[in-house]
A and B are shown apart, each in its own frame.
Chain A
Amino acid sequence: MNDRSAMGLRSGRGNWVNTGAPGPTGTIYTCTRLRIRARQLIPRGDYLRMIRMSVPQIARFIGEHGYAREIHIFPGSRPDIDRIEVALARNLAASFREVRELTTGNLKTLTDWYLHRWDIVNVMILLRGKHKELPADRIREILVPAGDLDETALGTLLAAGSFGEVIGGLTAWRLYPVLVKECQPPRQSCLFASLENRLWQQYYTDLIRNCRSGIPGGALFLDSLRLEIDITNFRNLLRLRAGAVPADPGDQMIAGGNIPVAELAALSRIEDRDEFVSAFRKFRLRPLLVESYRTLHPGPASSPGEAEDYIASRWAERKRPLHEMEMAVTRVRLMRLGALSKRHPFSILPVILYLERKKYEVANIRAIVRGVGDGIGSEKIQQYVVI
C-alpha cells in the first residue's frame, strides 16, 4: 500500500478508507473527500449528452462514470430499463453506505441521523410488500439499504413469513413505538398512508430534538432541515388543495419547520385569491419560490408579481401540474445548499450536499433512461432533470 492509500486518499469507490480520526482532522478529511466526490458526479453537459443517447448507450456511459460495478453484473450487453433502475438503486445505497463508513465522530452521528430516512422507505416497502404478498426477490430489488437497517437486517425481515413477523423483527428499530402504535390493535394490515406519515413526522421530530441537543454542527443541520420541512409542507399543502381535501391539513404536515403548522393551516383555509396573494407576500418561502419561478421562466420580464400570480392561480383553481415548480424549487434548494456549504466547508453541509446531489444524480439518470425509453422528447426530459 502506498502513502496515498494509507491516508485514505485513493480514488475509486471501493478504496475509501476511514481515517478513524473523530476530531477536526477527520471532519476536514471527510468534507474534503466528499467535496471532491461531489465534483466527480455527472456534470450538466453530460446529462444533455445523455438525453440524446439511446438506452444501451446510456448504460455504457454510466458504466464508465461510476456505475461500472452495478451495470456490469447484467449478463447481456443490453440491460433493460428496469435493470438499469435496479443498478441505480444499488449504486445509491452503496454510495450512501460508503459515506457512513467515511464519516467519523459527530459528522457520522449527523450523517446517520440524516440517512435514517431510508429505513422508513425500506420498512414501508417491506410492510406493503408483505401485505400484498409480493415475491421476496421483487421486494429486494426495490430496497435501498442506506440507513441503520443494512442488507443483512433487511434480508432477515424479508425472510419473515408474515406482516406481523416483520413488525416483530423491528423491535430494535428507533421508530418501532410509532409502528406498534399505528398498527394496534394487531391486525393483518394498518392504514399505510397514515403509518407512513406518522413515521416521517416522528423522524423529523427526533431529528430536530437531536440537533437541538447541543451536538456540534447540529444548528447548521437544523437550518437545512427546517428549509426541507418548509418546502415539503408547502408542497403538500398545494397537493392537498389540488386534491380537494377538505380536512385539516395539520395532520399531514411536519412540525418543526420555520413556518408553523398553524400558519400553513390558516393558509389552507383561504379561498379568496387576493387574500391568498396578500398572505403569500408575507410567507417566508416566498423568496425561494420567486427565485424558483425565475429559473422556470428566465428573462427580464419575469417579475416577483408573475411568480405570485402563478402560485395564486394554482391555488385558486386547485390546479396541477405542480411538479415543474417542485423541480425548480429542488434546483434552487441545492444551489443554496451548495453556497451555504462553501461558507461552512467543514461541517455537515458538504456531506448533506453530496448525499442530496448523489440522490438527484441517480434520479436524473433514471429520468433520462425512462424518458428516452418511453420516447419522450429531449426538451421535456430536460424539464425533469435537476441540473
Chain B
Amino acid sequence: MMQGDIQATRAGLQAVRRKIQIAEKGHRLLRLKRDVLILELIAIAKRSRQSERALGALIGSARETLAVAKMMEGSLGLVIVSISIEEMPEIRAGTRNVMGMRLPVFTATGVRKELARRGYGLIGTTSVIDEAAEAYEDLTEAIIRHAEILAAIQILTAEILRLKRRVNALEFRVIPGLYAVRDAIALRRDEMEREEHSRIFWVKKRNASP
C-alpha cells in the first residue's frame, strides 16, 4: 500500500513503526470513546422508553381532559380560553458534554403557569379549563424533555456510527496495512543486506585472486 511512498530504509521503517504506534493508540481511544458513547446511548434509550411511556399516558389524560373541557365549555369556549394566553413559553437550547460530544439540553420557561397567569379570568370560567390547561402544561413539559432525549439519541447514534466506521477502518484496514508495509520494508532491508554481503564477498574474492 505505502510501499511506493516509503523508502525501504531504516528511517522509513521507523516512520512506519511510529504510524503503527499512533494508529494503535488512536484505535484504542476511539474504541474506548465508542464504548462509552454506547453505554450513554443505552442509558438514554432506557430513559427514552420511560419518557415515551409517560408521554403516552400524558397524551391520553390530556385528550380526556380536553374532551371533557369541550363537553363542558364547548370548542368555542376553549377558543376564547386559548386566545387568552399572553405569555408564550420559551425554550432555550444549551449543551452538556459527554466524552467531547455536545448533547442538547432544553430549558423551558413559562410552560407551567400559575392559575392567575394563564390569561383567563377565574370568575367567568370553570375548573375543567384548569384541568385541561394543567394537563397540556404537563404534556408540553414532557414533550420538551422527550425532544431533548430524542435529539441526544440522534446525535449519539450518528457519532457512534462514525466512530464504528473509523475503528473498523483502523482495525481492519489501516493497521494491517501498516504492518504489511513494515514487514515489506523489513524484508526488503534484509534482502538489501544479503545483496550487500554477497557483493562484498565477491569483490573481496576477486581482489584476493592473482
Contact = CB atoms under 8 A, between A and B. Distances in A.
A170 interface: no
Contact of A193 (B68, B119, B127, B128): B119
A384 B68 contact: yes
Given A242-B130, A367-B71, A370-B67, A86 B76 contact: yes
29 contacts: A89-B74, A89-B76, A121-B124, A132-B83, A134-B83, A141-B76, A142-B79, A142-B80, A192-B119, A192-B120, A193-B116, A193-B119, A196-B120, A196-B124, A197-B122, A200-B124, A235-B127, A236-B122, A236-B123, A252-B123, A320-B127, A323-B72, A363-B74, A366-B71, A370-B67, A370-B75, A371-B67, A374-B71, A376-B67
B79 A323 contact: no
A242 B71 contact: no
A172 interface: no
Interface in B27-62: none
Contacts of A320: 127, 130-131, 134
Nearest to A144: B76
A252 to B, nearest CB: 5
Contacts of A322: 127
A240 B127 contact: no
Interface of A: 81-82, 85-86, 88-89, 120-121, 124-125, 128-129, 131-132, 134, 138, 141-142, 189, 191-197, 199-201, 232, 235-236, 238-240, 242-245, 247, 252, 254, 320-323, 326, 363, 366-367, 370-371, 374, 376, 381, 384
B115 A384 contact: no
Contacts of B166: none
Given A242-B127, A243-B130, A196 B121 contact: yes
Contacts of A121: 124
Nearest to B128: A323
Contacts of A323: 68, 72, 126-128, 131
Interface in B59-106: 67-68, 70-72, 74-76, 79-80, 83-84, 86
Contacts of B116: 193, 245, 247, 252
B123 A201 contact: yes
Contacts of A201: 123
Nearest 3 pairs of A and B residues by beta carbon: A196-B121, A243-B115, A200-B123
B115 A240 contact: yes
A374 B121 CA distance: 27
Contacts of A134: 83
Given A121-B124, A252-B122, 10 more contacts: A82-B75, A88-B74, A193-B119, A196-B123, A320-B127, A320-B131, A321-B128, A366-B71, A371-B71, A374-B67
A326 B126 contact: yes
A235 B123 CA distance: 9
B86 A189 contact: yes
A367 B124 contact: no
A211 B74 CA distance: 32
Contacts of A82: 75
A219 B131 CA distance: 36
A243 B80 CA distance: 20
A158 B160 CA distance: 59
Contacts of B122: 193, 197, 236, 239-240, 252
A125 B121 CA distance: 12
Contact of A243 (B114, B120, B123, B126): B114
Contacts of B124: 120-121, 124, 196, 200
A242 to B, nearest CB: 7
A128 B67 contact: no
A384 B71 contact: yes
Contacts of B70: 370, 374
A197 B97 CA distance: 48
A376 B71 contact: yes
Contact of A367 (B72, B79, B83): B72
A121 B67 CA distance: 22
Given A129-B83, A193-B84, A363 B127 contact: no
